[in-house]
Structure 1
């Protein structure tokens, strides 16, 4: 993109535009502040040379975004837990309640949903709550086998005789019953889904303005630019790095406030570019701004701001 230098409005043209608008809005106030007692009031007698005490050159950066608020995520998470953990969880239910306004929502965007809770029999114990294992004491026979030493006859000959009795560990069953380690004896586990909150999808156009003048009119200027961008002339850029490198040459002037403003606007632009819910819908505009410090004949101080080029500019004032 070739370097383009924009011509700022002439101070007399800015002041003249302000005069014409002010007299239409409140002629009596203009007469009171600038009129001479006993003389016929005339706008021709009010000049920038006499009433503009000082000026500053500033700049403004503007672009517009489209923000999709409440777009539902497609992620689905699932948890499987023991019954006591289900009781400790906070669940949500949206069925039949309509869509949720994201701006009013307080909490996470992904939440546990009550009507997704399902019972799942424990696979380890097959829903019994316990597992059976072979008794180690009796080796699964249910009996303890012993050998008795028996002395027989007058000679007291030693003989070994078998002797068995019920195993006291497994109660003669040959198996031990142990609490299932997976389900803790509850027989079942419970699974539920963590789903996105069903937000309303709201698409809004939002103007973004950064001004080095930092006036109280920034919201008003944002609104006007959003509605009447073709009524004011600025330099358009497709890339913020291009704007950063060419802004000083394009404006024909520079100061610390302008540099700081461009840096701040660049940070916002970068953030919006990375935001999945946001789309930048316009080019980036660089506007010259003239800040005029004025004082009426009666000593009332006020300011006039112009935004735009010599060809097309808008004015704002606290008069």
Structure 2
């Protein structure tokens, strides 16, 4: 009886020892397995890589583009030439129309339009948040690469100076050029005097300065395409005058980068009267002022 009792008490202990040994063996096999550990190794590699990755950009979301400019700013950019709008019309014009984008955390935009008897003005705003998918390249660096590509496409001088702009052709310059030529080639003083008279007659009273005068005036304050200082991390301005069958239009573009966000402002004025060219300085000043306002809003 005593011997049976010992056997019964031994059997459970042996079972426990065997179970413990089996558990240790299974643990050892799992830890030593190298063929099925691909996912674990990959995650380990990702963790090592992420620890060496650069910091993300400052911006993770984007504001609502149509509400970013102040209402007074938009009204100043879209003057009505003394034409009054009803409340409903004003709300529609100045509220703007949002651009359709697939991801509003990556890209937003808005555009405005105001038509008058003197012509039409358009304003467009495009804001892009740049994300670098290369762990060795920061969002800011990738944004700078994209900004540089835009500046190069616009032929903006890399040294920050204003690029020379060829004087655009204009119907107004033709009578003046002809008059000057007549005066120069005259054989006597009378012909020269007549040539000067033609020149005064050929230029309408109160007409704006010719494009050639505008393009060559004061290089220090030139309106030519150039780098802008004091605006975000980097910025440039482009100015183009184009002649179309229906009239003329001047397009002002301001692009600036702040951290990993690139903002593009497009502001243009159309005129149905080809003798009345849109004034470059006014449009540039307004676009530059808007850019400064947006840069301040984004930095808050």
TM over 0.5, yes or no? no
Could you say which structure has the higher strand fraction? 1
**TM-score category by the smaller chain?**
under 0.3
TM-score by length of 2: 0.22
* Higher RCO structure (Cα 8 Å, ≥6 apart): 1
Structure with higher Rg: it is: 1
TM-score by length of 1: 0.21
